[in-house]
Each structure stands twice: as C-alpha cells, then as structure tokens.
Structure 1
Amino acid sequence: MRTFGVEEEFLIVNPDSGYPLPLAGEILRLHDPGPQVVQNPGHLQMLAAELHQEQLEVITHPHESLSGLAAEIQAGRAYADSLARKAGARIAALATSPLPVTPHPTRNDRYDALLEKHALTAREQLTSGYHVHVCVSSDEEGVAVLDRIRSWLPPLIALSSNSPFWNGTDSGYASFRTQAWNRWSTAGPTEVFGSAQAYHSLVENLSNTGVVTSPDFDARLSSRHPTVEIRVADVCLDARDAALIAALVRALVETAAREWEAGQPPDMVPAAILRQGAWRASRWGMDGELLHPVLHRPAAARNVFAALHDHVRDALDEAGDAAYVADSLQRILTQGTGATQQRQTLKRSGRLADVVAHATGLTHQGPVGDWPRGEPFLARDAAITDPRSNLADVSG
C-alpha cells in the first residue's frame, strides 16, 4: 500500500473580530514536540511557518491507512488550535481571508528574497492550500504518474473549493485561492514530460532563468522525499473533505502507476485546455459545469465525479477506501463545499466575522458517522517516529 501524508495551511484569526493575526512566530515558540514522543504518540505534530505570519502549516506523518491519516489530520488541527488559543487566537481552515488583511511577511533569507523579487504577488499571497504527498518507487514512476493524472486534478479544485471571499468581498469564485495562486510564474498544469530526464531538465532550465528555484506546478516531484506532491486543493473547511481528497489522490497515483506499467500512454491534452478546466473548477466549484477529464468538454459536476470515481474504483477497493469515498462524494454533492457553507453563513448573518467564527468551529469538528473507520493514529502507523522528520515536503 502506498503511504501518503498531507500538509494543511491555516489562517490564524482573532476569535472575536475574525481578522487574521500575525502570530505564527509566537505559536511556533509555544510548540515543543519533544516530550510528546513518549507521553502522547498521537500528537507527534510538525508545524511550520509560511510566507506570512498570519498562517500556520500542519504536516502529518506518512500513513498506510486512510483512518490513520484522518485521525492525525484531526489531531493536528486540534493541537495547532490549542497553541493558538494560548496566544489569544484560533486557527481556521479558510483558503483566503473573508476580511481585508495586510499580511506581515515571515522574515528569513528565503522569504525576504521571494518578496523582493515577486513584489505585490508575494505580498498579497495570503492563501491556504492543501498538499497531498504519495510515495513513488522512483522518479521515472513519479513522472509517469504526473503525466497521467493531469486531467483529473481540476475536479479536486472544485471538490475542495473553500475561498469565495477576497479583501472583504465575494469574489464570484468558489476557489479564488486558485486565481491568486496562479499569479506565480510556474503555477498551473504542465505538459506531458515523457521521462524523468525531461522533467529534471525543465526544472533546471526554469531555475537557470533566475525567476524560480522550485516550480509551483499543480503536481510535482518532491525535492526532498520519494513522493509526488499534488498541490491544487484549497485547505478544506471540513476535515472529512481533507480525508476524501487524500484518498482520491492516492487512488489517482496508484491508477496512473498501473497504467504506466501496462504501457498505456498518457492523455496528450494540452496544458492550455487543462488550465480552462482549472478555471471552471475555480469559478463555480460544484455549482456549475466542470471540464470532463476524458472528453474535455463541459459536463455536470455529478457526471465528472462519477467518471473520477469509476476511474479510481479498483485502487479505492484495494485500499479499503471505496465506501468512505462514495459516501463523502454524495455528501458534498448534496451539502456543498466549504465555499457554499461560507456563503450560506454570510447570507444568514450578513457579517463576515460570523463567516470566520463559523469556519473556526467547522475546522475543529469531531468525528461523525461517516468518518473513516479503522485504527486511530499511533506512532507505529507512521513510517518514522521523529516529530521533526516527515514525508511531507516542508519547502512550501
């Protein structure tokens, strides 16, 4: 079974006003995982700073089971929030801030250079994503996977959409984070690479331009670990949705690897077409037509997700994740995504502060009937035991 892990980025917010607070440094100073290694193996959490001090990243260990990963996702959210409370704040799974904010940059050599070079794009980039890492056996397998999952990534944007507001107004998009993120010069879908050599050659040539050192592709090889990293999703308001996205990503990777082994060529659809699919998903989320991953024509969201589910069904069955994924897809198709819930809250109350308060509560919602079943997270479920060493790539 392929191991997988995730990185979740959260906003640090004032629990009363809803405005983001630049407290990442203070929260990280409160974080001391050392004694927990022995006392509480369920809280081997790793936290990291992001580009701006209004954000905090929580990184999981690698897991074989969805139930183990889901339990650590929930534990990580609770642990980060417990530290934020000590600093007089809360964490909220919001992919953009509903309220206006002027971000405060994290000061270090890497981020200082990024801000100097990319100017307003970097200064305004207060967006919270959700990255899923899945292990691969080699760079060749990893690139073969990247070539074969491209068409299936835009539906994940729709499924995770959780950023309708920007600078105090409704952006009109379900995932405005996708629009803001795509300001980066290498963000978005890629063409088919064909080989690991071609992939590494492109990365090197991009670095030689002097603009980027690590490309922001929608999906890429990790530079630190033997994984592929899928980066298209918003951070999910509901932890159950985070578990769903992770299960689908692992199944997509496994399915793509099997296609490669069987000699099945990738879909050669141009990246420009895939970008339109990502735009559709960003604009309407689950409430409009998406680009069908096989036909590359607009289709109802329900039909697109039926195609996705059918595409990865065998991998889901073998992992034991099929029932959870089917139930979760139906729940989101019925109840809507985080973007839907944010807009519903604003419609009820008329206050963006209430949107943040409601989102804060949902961020920490406990297990319910359709939570993945299985063993709770224990240190033995992780491939490693050092809380400062994770499969997930902490490079941002």
Structure 2
Amino acid sequence: MSDVPLLGAEEEFHVVDLETRRAAPEVDALLTQLDGTEFAPELQRSLVETNTPVCSTLDELRGHIRRLRSRLEAVAEPLGLGVVAAGTVPLAEMDGDAISAGARYEKMQHEYQMLVREQHICGAQVHVDVPDRDLAVQVVRRVAPYLPILLAISASSPYWNGRDSGYASFRSMVWSRWPTAGPPAHVETAADYDALVSDLIASGTISDPGMVYFDIRPSAHLPTVELRVCDACPDVEDVVLIAGLFRALVGKARADAEEGLPLPEVRHELLRAASWRAARSGLEGDLVDLVGPALVAPPLVVGQLVDQLRPQLEELGDWEQVLELSQATLSRGSAAARQRRVFGRRGELTDVVDVLIANTQGRTLRTEPPATVPSTPQLLLGYHKTDDERAAYDEAVSAGGTVLPHYGWMFRTLDRLGPRGMRAAQAALRTEQHARGVTFRVGDSDTDRLFPLDLVPRIVTSEDWEILTAGLAQRVRALEAFLRDLYGERRIVADGIVPAQVVDDAPGWSRLGKLVPADAVRIAVAGIDLVRDRADHWFVLEDNLRVPSGVGYALISRRLIRSAMPDLEPPAGVVGLEAVPGMLRSALLSATEPDAPGHDEVALLSAGPSDSAYFEHNLLADRMGVPLVTPRDLQVTEDGVYLVSTGARRRLSALYRRIDEKELLTATGADMRPIGRALSNAVARGNVALLNALGNGVADDKLVYAYVPEMIRYYLGEDVLLDNVPTYPCVDPDRREEVLDRLAELVIKPVDGYGGQGIVIGPLADRAELAEVAEKVRADPASWVAQDLVHLSTHPTFAGDHLEPRAVDLRAFVLQSQVGDRTAVDVAPAALSRVAPAGSMIVNSSRGGGAKDTWVLR
C-alpha cells in the first residue's frame, strides 16, 4: 500500500429518559438541534446515528468520536435525555410502533413486522477505503474469518427487555433474524455481488442495496468496505481498537489479493458458529479458532491477530497504539461483563443504564452496594444441619445463617437464579465441559470422566491473599534451600535438625537429585495445599513439588463458570488469570541461557493420553504456546535433547516435566531405547533444564513435612508465617506411643500415600479400622504419620436444589524463576479450591471430591 487508506465510523446510540432510564422515542427533539451531515435518525425513534468525517489516523478518529458523543449529550441532557452507546439498552418497550418517519421505514415496518418493533439495537460500523469494487469483494471474503474476534471485542449487549439474555452480544442474536444478515456471500467479483443484490431485490426480500446486512460488505453508497458485525461500544477506545484492527485486516487482504493468494476456504456454517460463540461469551469465554476448529482463549486469539497484523500496523503507524489498546481491552474484559458486574452490586438495571451513560462520555461512575446484606436467600434455608457442620467455620455464611458481607452481591445473583436457574446452569456447565473435553481419570483402568466443578465460586479476600502470598513464598524458598542442601552438603542433617533416617528412607529420595546442577532452580512450580479452621488462621496441609496438577483446571474453571452462569460476573476487584500461562512460560525460560541460540525452544513433557491430567497438559501447552511432547517424541544425544516428531529436528533448551519420575525413567524415546538415564545425564551436563527437577519428592514427603518449620528457621532465619498442621512422625518412639494412645482423635496417613488413599480419620473410624491401623503403625512405624484433626472450613456448594456446606481446601501455585544470580518467587493468582463430597473431609478427586472457581480479590 503506497497511501494510507482513509477510514471513518458510524455509531448508533440509544436515547433514554434520565428519570426512568428507559428507551425514549424522542430523537426528533435532538435532531432539530443537530447538524444533519453528522447526525441522522435510525429505524426506531429511540435511536440516533453519528457519522465521523473521513480520517487518516486513529487519533483523528478518536477525536471526532468523542466530539460527536459530547455534542449529543450537550443537546440531550437539557431535554432530560441521556445517550447510551451499547448494543442494547436494558430497559425498552418492545411492543410499540415508534418508527421514524419516511416511506422506507414505513415499508420496512409493513414487511418485517416484529423484527422492526424489536429493532432496539445499536451497532458500530467502520468504513475503510477500497475504491476498486472487484478488490472490495475480494477483501470482504478475506477479512470475514476474523470478524468473530472483532465482535467479541465489541460485545456490549447482555440485557434485553429487562432480563439477562445469557449472551454478551444479544444484539447479534436480534440482528441475525434479518434475511440478509450474517457472514458475507461466497462471490468473487463485483458483478457477482451486484447480481446477488439484484436477485434479492427481485425476490421481494429486500427493497434496496442498503438492506444487505452482511457482517461485512462493499458499501452501498461509498467506495469503501464496511464492517457491520460489531455492537456499539460504551468505551471509545474499543471503537478505535476495532477500527485499527479492521483497517490493518483490509490492508492485509488487499496485499494478499494483489499477490494472487487463494481465497480462504471457510465453511459458511462454521463462520456463523464462530460468530455465535463470540456473541455468546464475548471476551469471557473461549473463541473458535477456525483452523482446526478448536476453542481458544481470547487473549491468545487477539494476541495472535495483533502479531499477525504487525507489518500492516507498522506501515500505518498504528502498531504501538493497537498493541496497547488490545492489552487494555483484554485486561478489563468486555463491556457486557462490566455491565453484569454493575448489576451484581445491587440487582438494579437502572444502575447499568447510569454507568452506560457515563461510560459513553468517558466518565467513570461507581455504584455502591447496599449497606446491608439481604435476609437469608431461599437457597440457604436449612443450610447448617449437623453439629459437625456447625463446628466448622463457614467462609460465606455466618452461624446464624446470614451471608457474610463480601459474599452479599454473589448471593443476590444466586437467589435471583433460584434452584431452577442453578440446575439449568449446571446442565450448561456439563455441556461446556463435554465441548472442551475437560476430563480427568482416577486410575489406569478408569475411563475419562468430567472434571467435577461446583457452580458457586469461592472468594479469597485481599487481606487473606497477602498473608498467604508471604507465607507461601517463604515456605518454597526454604524447601528449595533444603533440596539443594540435601543433595549437596547435607548440613541440615549434620546439624541434627532433620534426622538422617527421615530423609534417607523417604520414598521420594532419588540419587538422580544429585545430578541437578548446583545453581539450578529445582522447584519451578510448587502446589501447596492449604486449609483453614477459622477466619484468621490458615494451615499448610501438604507440599507438592514433583508434578503438581491443578493450575490448568483453575484456568478453565473460570471460563466454564462464566459460560454457564454469565450473569454471575466476577467483580472488578477479582484478579484475572490471563497472565498465568505467561508466568509459567517465563519460569521455564528462566532456566535457559537467554543469549544462546534456540534458548526459547521449550516444551511440556507429558506421559500422553494415559495421564490422568492429560487435558491439563494440553491446555497449558496451548496457553503457553509451547509444544506438548512425550518421551517417544524425544531423542537424547551427547550434545542435547531433540524434538524429532514434528518433521523438523529441534534442540530443546528446557522441559516442563509433567510426567512421574518413575514413569519417565522407564519410558522409551524416539529411538525405542530407555530415555530416563540419558535425559538425567543431559541435565547434569547442562544440555537441557528439567523442571521440576528429579528427586524433588523427598521434600514433599509426609514425614519430612513435619520438619518444614525447622527448615524455615534454619535456612532463612525467619519466623514461620504459615503453620503446619500439628504432625507426629510415628518413627519417633515417643510420638508413636502418643499416636497409638490417641488414635481415635487423630488423622493417620501413610507416608507414601497419595490422592487421599490409606487415610484413616480417627473420629470417623470404627474399632476394627482403628485396630487395623494400630497394627500397621507398630509393624512399620516409619511408613506412618499422624496429625491433629482440623475442622476444615466449609463453603456453600450446590446440591441439586439447595446449597449445603462442604469442606474445602486451597491449592496455591508458587513459581520460581532464575533472575540473574537470585531466585524470584511468585504466587500465581490461579488457585484451585477443592471441595469434599457430602459428609467427608477428603477433597481429592479420586475420592469423589470436586473443585470450585476461586476469586482472589485485589
């Protein structure tokens, strides 16, 4: 492109009564005071359209949009009217006949009946110069596959006729009923396009070319290509972003057409499906990647689009601005989600209208939640039932049955849904899980089953998160020091802090731990399990330092719950999870030499489909943008580790290990020879980084766990910030006698157990079970530990037609990265809450447990 193509925007606005906040058919009163070249009526008399002048830069376009919006408000406000830029306005009369004057509109009302009466929708259209009509038709075909992304960015119409539609862009659903709406026709020349329009007019379906309502089209009256798929946007910056992306897409399409590249072959039905998906969930649910097809997270889709368009954006001078705008939009989410957050505070649609009026002019308006929490919701009647449940601290409901203040807005939404709405949401959740394949497997002989996910999210306050973040970082720093010491000088053993027998007999100790370079980070990802027994007291229950799972399920849980219950929108203060895959990738890359060739050639190493967490492996590899590999994909030589299954032989600098150590050691590589020893030697030579390191299991042993507080004091010289559950190693004779005397009071755990297997909860066990475990402890005391029984906190969990308290724990993920000569520690906000079955305190999925989306407040 030799010249910068010009562009312009048309925006449609709702006119509302400032007193009732309802759509007001008063546009004629506005237009008498407005310049007819920039302002025009629309089909409904509660709508008005603005047209910017032709612009050459995005800054110029932004300036005109703001000027026209400001002018509208200046005229409307003295008349008691407000102006709203959104796909729909929450409160409108759908059965009226307030149609603008004119023969064209009157004919449309006669022909289309209800479609016209319900045309209370507004869009944002962008025009970009393409003077040659044959080229314009080619551009339309080439840009069409990207339109669902632009629709998702613009989604701003969740409310329709006073109710939540369940869509982020319900305007799209209303608009799609017109006979010529949707993806563009499969034509290749202007003559073909004009013939199609003539046939549609001849058929009596439309009366003029302006009624061809394709999502993108050659303009009926200008030498441009016109984008028509988007909702009107409250935020001017979203309009500017869409305009910048669209102009770059048009530029790329023109270049591809002029080079003679073939037209994209995208099935019309699939493009409609992708648009429906974007309308359904906006930026809060996965979008359709048409190559595949597959569901992909919006940050990845939008990021890839911006990167793909970089040459065109740089040529136009738009690169830095569009990149910044795209990142800001992804951070704040769609306008539909923001409206739902406003509604969730008090349950008032008038609040939504007030915020939309303010946002249209670039102002921020905060709505305050009610001063008091409402009486007990219907779903919570009879919530506390047993003495055991009353003894446990409940995180959302007081002992008297009232909702705690920071959960008040959530329960107002749940109460509006009621049991029937919750059951519908549960069915929708299962459908979404099936569509995405969100499954897990308990054992090798088990079949894949849906990951059990509860509808009611758990909130972790900012105060709690601050305490947890400090304590978790401290704990992982001490465990890292312990592993380096244990596989090195063993100072902590020599100084008598940890008995030699404890570590030497630990099931997780491995001689391969000695092969890890001394300065390497051994714990790249730690999964620390926490519980609480009262509002201000958290315990660490268990450390997971080998191949901790769950971070991927935390990521997908947020999207699944948003998709199943779009009206239960997290408040603005909830920390987003979009950055977590990047944090994981950065931790992985930090183990490589940044200046070395191919330092960013990293991969996630999995056992493959047989692994119970294979879904998560796929998800994380996709979100990190790294290949997912199995041992059979790898070849280890004297000079490095190579990925050989992709056609091109690539040397890898680091592997994110998600395969069990024993399984890795017996696995075969691409050459059908055992790969474990060769890979360990490659790690020792510094040819590849393996994270998490082999041998880490010694530090998350249930017996070693008892000594972690001493490790913190020994290595860091600090007071312990997070308590252990009081733990009694049965290998110690004095502790063993105490355990045998108190079996009926304690929880007894096998040292090598996992997934809740082998645990005996003394107060819930009968005499035979206690006698059996006592015999096992006496026979092999080093294989057992005991802990005081902690009454795990409970959280409301949906049980078919009501909410009931279920025990919960929290798995938090701590990441370590090598930064120069120091190790940086970060606690990811993607925590996973696990929930026990009714009547149980064991949360593991293998024992019938489930999970919850966890909202960490800023």
Cα deviation digits, residues 143-186 of structure 1 (max 9, x gap) = 11001001000111100000000000000000000000001001
Q: Residues 252-311 of structure 1, C-alpha deviation per residue, up to 9 Å, x if partnerless?
A: 111100000111111111211100000000001011111114443221111211221122
Question: Following the alignment from structure 2 to structure 1, what is the Cα–Cα distance between the partners of residues 258 and 223?
Answer: 18
Residues 40-72 of structure 1, C-alpha deviations (whole Å, 9 max, x = no match): xxxxx6000000010110110111111001100
Distance (Å, rounded) in 1 between the aligned partners of 2:263 and 2:299 = 24
Residue matched to 1:61: 53
Q: Which amino acid aligns with 1:243?
A: V
1:84 aligns with 2:62: no
CA distance in 2, matches of 1:17, 1:357: 11
Map 1:87-236; keep pairs closer than 5 Å.
87-102=79-94, 103=96, 104-212=98-206, 213=208, 214-236=211-233
- The two structures have a TM-score, normalised by structure 1, of 0.87
Deviation at 1:17, TM superposition (A): 2.1
Name which of structure 1's ranges 100-109 and 298-307 shifts more when overlaid on structure 2.
100-109
Provide runs of 4+ in structure 1 moved above 2 Å: 293-297
Matched AA of 1:187 = A
Larger Rg: 2
Distance 1:265 1:274, change over 3 A: same
Matched residues in 2 for 1:131 and 1:295: separation? 29
CA distance in 2, matches of 1:267, 1:294: 11
Quick one: which of 261, 281, 286 aligns to 2:278? Answer: 281
Q: Report if aligned partners of 2:92, 2:120 keep a CA contact under 8 Å in 1.
A: no
CA distance in 2, matches of 1:293, 1:3: 29
Instruction: Please tell me whether the aligned partners of residues 134 and 188 of structure 2 are also in contact (alpha carbons under 8 angstroms).
Output: no
Deviation at 1:137, TM superposition (A): 2.4
Unaligned runs of 5+ in 1: 34-44, 368-396
CA distance in 1, matches of 2:290, 2:133: 25
Structure 1 residue 267 corresponds to structure 2 residue 264: yes
Distance 1:211 1:338 in 2: 34
2:67 aligns with 75
What's the secondary structure of 2:201's corresponding residue?
Answer: helix
Using a 3 Å threshold, how does the CA distance of structure 1 residues 22 and 148 change in structure 2: closer, same or farther? same
For 2:292 and 2:248, the matched residues in 1 are separated by: 21
Q: Which amino acid letter does the alignment assign opposite residue 323 of structure 1?
A: E
Task: State the Cα RMSD in Å.
Answer: 1.4
Q: Is contact 2:183-2:214 (8 Å) kept?
A: yes
Aligned to 1:374: none
Give the conservation status (yes or no) of the 8 Å contact 2:52–2:64.
yes
The letter of the residue matching 1:95 is G
Assess if the C-alpha contact under 8 Å between 2:155 and 2:231 holds in 1: yes
CA contact (8 A) 1:177 1:234 kept: yes
C-alpha contact (below 8 Å) 1:293/1:304 kept by paired residues: no
Q: How does 1:8-87 map onto structure 2 within 5 Å?
A: 8-32=11-35, 46-87=38-79
Letter in 2 for 1:117: E
Deviation at 1:101, TM superposition (A): 1.8
Matched residue SS, 1:149: helix
AA aligned opposite 1:224: H
Alignment partners' CA distance in 2, 1:125 and 1:16:
23
Assess if the C-alpha contact under 8 Å between 2:85 and 2:360 holds in 1.
yes
Q: Is the 8 A contact 1:16 1:353 kept in 2?
A: no
Q: CA deviation at 1:30?
A: 1.3
Q: Which digits, 9 at most, give the CA deviation of each residue in 1:113-168, with x for residues without a partner?
A: 00100010111111000000011121011011001001000111100000000000
- In 2: Cα distance, 1:10 partner to 1:355 partner: 15
**Where does residue 243 of structure 1 map in the other structure?**
240
| Residue of structure 1 in register with 2:355 after alignment | 358
Q: CA offsets per residue over residues 331-356 of structure 1, 9 Å max, x none?
A: 12111111011111101122101100
Match of 2:346 in 1: 349
Judge conservation of contact 1:187–1:217 (CA < 8 Å) in 2: yes
Residues of 1 paired with 2:109 and 2:43: CA distance?
Answer: 9
Residue 113 of structure 2: SS of its match in structure 1? Answer: helix
1:296 aligned to which of 289, 293, 297: 293
Secondary structure of the 1:258 match is helix
Moved more, 307-316 or 177-186: 307-316
Which moves more between the two structures, 184-193 or 139-148? 184-193
Q: Is the 8 A contact 2:266 2:290 kept in 1?
A: no
Q: Give the C-alpha shift of residue 366 in structure 1.
A: 6.4
CA drift of 1:32 comes to 4.1
Which amino acid in structure 2 is aligned with residue 24 of structure 1?
V
Once residues 328 and 299 of structure 1 are traced to their aligned partners in structure 2, the CA distance between those partners, rounded to angstroms, is: 20
Secondary structure at 2:45 match in 1 = coil
Q: Per-residue displacement from partner, 1:311-367 (whole Å, max 9, x unpaired)? A: 221111111111111111111211111101111110112210110001110100169
Alignment partners' CA distance in 1, 2:139 and 2:118: 32
Most deviating of 287-296 and 253-262: 287-296
Matched residue count:
356
The letter for the 2-side match of 1:48 is A
Answer yes or no: is the 8 Å Cα contact 1:23–1:87 preserved in 2: no
Q: Secondary structure at the match of 1:145?
A: helix
Task: Give the corresponding residue for 2:760.
Answer: none
For 1:30, what is the secondary structure of its paired residue? coil
Cα separation, 2, equivalents of 1:293 and 1:320: 29
Paired amino acid for 2:60: G
Q: How far apart are the structure 2 equivalents of 1:314 and 1:354? A: 43
Q: How does 1:2-13 map to 2 (within 5 A)?
A: 2-13=5-16
Once residues 28 and 306 of structure 1 are traced to their aligned partners in structure 2, the CA distance between those partners, rounded to angstroms, is: 41
Worse-superposed segment, 66-75 or 86-95: 86-95
What is the SS of the residue equivalent to 2:32?
A: helix
Greater strand fraction, Structure 1 or Structure 2: 2
Q: How has the CA–CA distance of structure 1 residues 269 and 32 changed in structure 2, closer, same or farther, with 3 Å as cutoff?
A: closer
Q: Which moved more, 1:60-69 or 1:186-195?
A: 186-195
Distance in 1 between the 2:297 and 2:35 partners?
A: 48
SS in 1 for 2:283: helix
SS for the counterpart of 1:343 is helix
Q: Give me the whole-angstrom Cα distance separating, in 2, the residues matched to 1:14 and 1:107.
A: 21
Extract unaligned runs of 5+ from structure 2: 365-858
Q: Which amino acid aligns with 2:338?
A: Q
Higher fraction of helix: 1
